[in-house]
Amino acid sequence: MRLSFTKCHGSGNDFPMVDARGLDLSDADWSAVARALADRAGPVGGDGLLLMLDGRDGDAIGYRMFNPDGSEAETCLNGLRCVARAGFAALGVEAAGVRLIGSRADVAHAPPLAPGVFTVRERAGPASLDIAAWPLRIGAERLVDDALPPLGGLRFTAIAIPNPHLIAFVESIDETELVRIGRLCEAAPDWLPRRANVSFAVMEAEGLFVRTFERGVGLTDSCGSAMAASTYAACLTGRWAYDRSAILRNRGGLVRAVADADAMVTIEGNATFEWEGEVTVDLATATATDLTVTKRYPEEVAAWEAVRAA
Ligand SMILES: N[C@@H](CCC[C@H](N)C(=O)O)C(=O)O
């Protein structure tokens, strides 16, 4: 099949995004499309596949996200901003509700974070501490800044928003250790059968620096739901204050985030379109070929590069 898509990113977390309204593919087919398009060794590559869908249940926009390994995630907040932008253009609106699997979010076009940067405000949550729902089986009801012995000596906070995150506050990022722990979780041990996104967060004067090993992906330049979960975890553990805006820095740039005591998190960040293209996808082999780039957005790419480099 031939598919059109937009290559986009939120804070360096990059995705092919398909306007899937009117496309009738099974879950298994979308999983194959994700493996084909997000494959870094293929012609497109990305940290996952974003689908913009028709809205439902009172929300104007629908949204699904698949990881590069073909698994479907409950959400992706960097991707949500890109889908929101596409939805605003498709529907001629500047704000909307977005329906995901098992949750919803509110999105609005926001003042630019920097000149030339399309910016979206997203409000997601409530973040949940109910680890039985993941499930994370450690013989406790919640894990807040506490030891998680199978992963070593670090103290973790477990938060679902609604995708599952394990966050450790550290003095500095040991990437080798992050990868080791991320891979342990990717193995889906009995106590963590649906895996987890793992982040190391460093407190800074203006907020936090977060590095994430994503479920179904590996190390990424940023993870929006990890930044949201880390902001909430920082407030929950007294490292940051509720209702206080934080700058969340990551390898791909930054977002602004604020968590409230009701466990809702608001993020303002970029939704950058890089290029548009068409590609042939073989669903049987989950491979992509014959890429044609139909449009490029060089000014937007440069505008974000200036933010990232600052
Ligand atoms: N990068 C994302 C999260 C994508 C899904 C994640 N890998 C999972 O499986 O939960 C974000 O920006 O939130």
Per-residue pLDDT of 14-73, as tens digits, reads 999 999 999 999 999 999 999 999 999 999 999 999 999 999 999 999 999 999 999 999
CATH architecture of 2-110+272-309: Roll (3.10)
Could you tell me the end-to-end alpha-carbon distance of the chain, in angstroms, rounded to an integer? 41
Q: How far apart are CA 257 and CA 225, in angstroms?
A: 11
Is the N-terminal amide bond of 126 cis, ω within 30° of 0? yes
Q: How many CB atoms lie within 10 A of CB 47?
A: 30
Q: What is the pLDDT of residue 187?
A: 98
Q: Are 228 and 236 in contact (CB under 8 A)?
A: no
Ligand 1 atom 2 nearest Cα: 76
Pocket lined around ligand 1, Cβ cut-off 6 Å: 13, 47-48, 67, 73, 76-79, 163, 197, 214-217, 223-225
Catalytic residues: 76, 223
Q: What is the pLDDT of residue 107?
A: 98
User: What is the pLDDT averaged over residues 119-140?
Assistant: 97
- Residue matched to tokens 């995150």: 165
pLDDT in tens, 176-210: 999 999 999 999 999 999 999 999 999 999 999 99
- Secondary element (H or E) of residue 175: helix 175-186
User: What pairing do the DSSP bridges indicate for beta strands 207-214 and 246-250?
Assistant: parallel
Say if 2-110+272-309 and 131-269 have the same CATH topology. yes
**238: which residues sit within 8 A by CB, 6+ positions away?**
none
Domain ranges for the chain, please list them: 2-110+272-309, 131-269
CATH architecture of 131-269: Roll (3.10)
Complex prediction ipTM: 0.97
Q: How far apart are CA 30 and CA 37, in angstroms?
A: 10
Q: What is the pLDDT of residue 52?
A: 98
